[in-house]
Amino acid sequence: MAKDKKKTAGLAKAQPAAGKRKSGGAYTVSVFTLFIVGLAFFAMPALLVFAVGMIPSLVAAIVDRHPGRNATIAVTAMNFAGVVPFVAEILISGASMARATLVVTDVFSLAMMYGTAAFGWGLVYVMPKVASVYISVRNDARIQAMQREKKRLNEEWGDAVKSLPPVAAPAGRKKAGADAAKPA
């Protein structure tokens, strides 16, 4: 009986709280694991190149502690794009450990793989600034368009448009005195 209570308490903790949405992290991890296992069984040299090439992604996963892990996603995607051509080359040219060690020890191959990861870090640091400049320019354009529209309305309707209308009382309140009998 005590074991059953412990099991149900453990199940309650394992389920996400109401209102919280579960991310697709489990799916991503399972696809990544299948990819690694497939390389391990069918092409160990390609796995060696993949493992050495993806070190910056591992570092990004350790360093990035922000919610959503956007830095990890950006760095991993760019790093993966830099590693895949070399893994494909190993698989196409015949997976041999000699070829894999040549790729792993080649400075230019490593520069390409790690350089794409560095480009991912560059995106992480530059894109928020680019987005803020874009939003600022867009908002300035909207303000100018509204000012042009205001000027056009003033020319069309005259100075009566410039003055503010009387503020109506909220629907739930009643006015006191003579104003209560007048319609708004």
| DSSP symbols for 136-159 | HHHHHHHHHHHHHHHHHHHHHH-G
Confidence of residue 32 (pLDDT cuts 50, 70, 90): confident
Work out the percent of the chain whose per-residue pLDDT is above 90. Answer: 34
Place of tokens 């560059």: 122
As given in the structure block, the two tokens for residue 10 are 């453990």
Cα(102)–Cα(116) distance, rounded to whole angstroms?
Answer: 20
- Integer angstrom CA distances of residue 75 from 25, 28, 78, 171: 16, 15, 5, 55
How much is the pLDDT for 118?
A: 93
Is the pLDDT at 175 greater than 70? The verdict is no
Answering whether pTM is above 0.75, one says no
Is the pLDDT at 9 greater than 80? The verdict is no
On the 0-12 / 13-18 / 19+ scale of CB atoms within 10 A, 123 is middle
Cα(148)–Cα(152) distance, rounded to whole angstroms?
Answer: 6
User: Which of 17-31, 46-60, 81-95, 97-111 is the least confident region?
Assistant: 17-31
pLDDT digits (tens, 9 = 90+) for 131-170: 999 999 999 999 999 999 988 888 888 777 677 677 776 7
Q: What is the mean pLDDT of residues 12-41?
A: 66
3-state secondary structure of 19: coil
In angstroms, what is the C-alpha Rg of the chain? 31
Kindly state the DSSP code that residue 100 receives in the 8-state scheme: H
pLDDT digits (tens, 9 = 90+) for 81-125: 999 999 999 888 887 888 889 899 999 999 999 999 999 999 989
